[in-house]
Amino acid sequence: MTLSTAAEAPTLENSNKILRENYLQGLILIERLHRQLLDVIKDEFDRQGKTDINSVQALLLFNIGDSEMTAGELRSRGHYLGSNVSYNLKKLVESGYINHQRSEMDRRSVRVCLTETGRRVSDQVNALFDRQLKSVEEIGGISKDDLAHVNKTLFKLERFWTDQIRFRL
């Protein structure tokens, strides 16, 4: 019995090393992909000559879409994108992309929704994603099954991290 345990130890150690390498590579890819998504959006707006809005703000407008929500809801729904959401919302209100209104129930809370100008930006981001969908399989070599598998894995990772925070694991 001792011999089999000794023989298994390097295999377990190797398995843990591979798991660690894959986990850390995944973290790097997630961060890099988020930055590249923002670059893709920036490039789209640069080609259109639209310089009054940055990619984080355009993605915020896309994520708000037809909804009406608070800054807190944007963060809790996963639409908080790195830079200060309150700052970006303030800039979007000043630029006429977002309407805001204080809540009748809680005067500290501000609800936001898109203006017609904001809706056009949201539609531009949506059109970009639709264009990409037409070629993601043929040019990118990414099938709907590949995306389903990646999404399933990312949802599991999100749940794992949420549990780490919620239950202080």
* DSSP-assigned states of every residue in 7-62: HHHHHHHHHHHHHHHHHHHHHHHHHHHHHHHHHHHHHHHHHTT--SS-HHHHHHHH
Domain coverage including residue 162: 141-169
Is 161 found in the same domain as 113? no
Tens of pLDDT along 48-86?
999 999 999 999 999 999 999 887 788 777 666 555 788
Is 153 found in the same domain as 74? no
Is 151 found in the same domain as 111? no
Is 53 found in the same domain as 97? yes
CATH at 10: 1.10.10.10
Is 120 found in the same domain as 145? no
Is 55 found in the same domain as 126? yes
Confidence of residue 166 (pLDDT cuts 50, 70, 90): very high
Question: Model's pTM, two decimal places?
Answer: 0.84
Residue range 113-138: average pLDDT?
Answer: 97
How many structural domains comprise the chain?
Answer: 2
Alpha helices by DSSP H, listed for 48-115, are: 55-64, 71-76, 85-94
Is 146 found in the same domain as 102? no
Is 58 found in the same domain as 18? yes
Q: Mean pLDDT for the chain? A: 89
Is 48 found in the same domain as 68? yes
Q: Mark 106-121 as b/e (b = at least 16 C-beta within 10 Å).
A: eeeebbbbbbeebbeb
Is 160 found in the same domain as 125? no
